Amino acid sequence: MDLIEALSADSPLVCVVGAGGKKTTLYALANRLDRAVVTATVRIPIFDDEVAAVRLTRDPVGALRDATDWPLGLVPERERDDRYLGYDRETVSAIRATPGHGPVLVKADGARTRLLKAPDEREPQIPATADTVIPIASARVVGEPLSETHVHRPERVAELTGLDLGDRIGPEDVGAVLADRLGGRKGVPPSATVVPLINMVDDDDLAATGRAIADAVHERTNVSRVVLARMLDAEVVDVVE
């Protein structure tokens, strides 16, 4: 199964949440899809080098009408030298409804480059029209202590898993976070397809870890598949159904 099919990434509006490779996933997909749009509902680091063009505009629907460069980044403004702001969810839904482009790929929460996260009360910012939601975690977090070094909002991960801060994270804990309605599935519209992604599966040991995480996801929720991948190489390692 190729990357696009595995992640159901050819749907009109694809939201990426979690930790351990959101931006890498967005850009890998954008460069493999026809006429893709990259945007965000939260802050996003400067990504001009990852797409053909970035348009800073408060009228993204208007900007799409005369777009010629793909994949196209759309953001409302630059907040600082190193990041852009995102649109509200309704604006992203309007982008989705505009004809003439391919899938809209959305960064819908933040994780401060950690390997695992659970959202707070304001996250994620997923539009109601989302078709596919991809919750991400890194296989490399297994075996690490539950702390801010590796986990964004470790106290919330503790609430979802029963771990104490400082405990070693197991594959069942990562699976629990990805599967939970207050974790990787938080805010997902009822009609959306959820495809959990285990990233950074860089060797055989991490592949075994990824499959254990996938099994834990399947034990807790009904998803059609969990994808194991190396997103830096845009390579699917395994699909666990």
| Among 210, 220, 127, 153, residue whose Cα is nearest residue 18 | 153
**What's the rounded Cα separation, in Å, for the pair 6 and 51?**
22
Tokens 């964004």 -> residue: 152
Domain at 3-240, CATH class: alpha beta
* pLDDT in 10s for each residue of the chain, 241 residues: 999 999 999 999 999 999 999 999 999 999 999 999 999 999 999 999 999 999 999 999 999 999 999 999 999 999 988 999 999 999 999 999 999 999 999 999 999 999 999 999 999 999 999 999 999 999 999 999 999 999 999 999 999 999 999 999 999 999 999 999 999 999 999 999 999 999 999 999 999 999 999 999 999 999 999 999 999 999 999 999 9
**What's the rounded Cα separation, in Å, for the pair 40 and 93?**
11
- Phi and psi at residue 93, in whole multiples of 5°? -65, -35
- Is residue 20 helix, strand or coil? coil
Helix or strand (DSSP H, E) at 135: strand 132-138
Q: What contacts 49, CB < 8 A, 6 or more positions away?
A: none
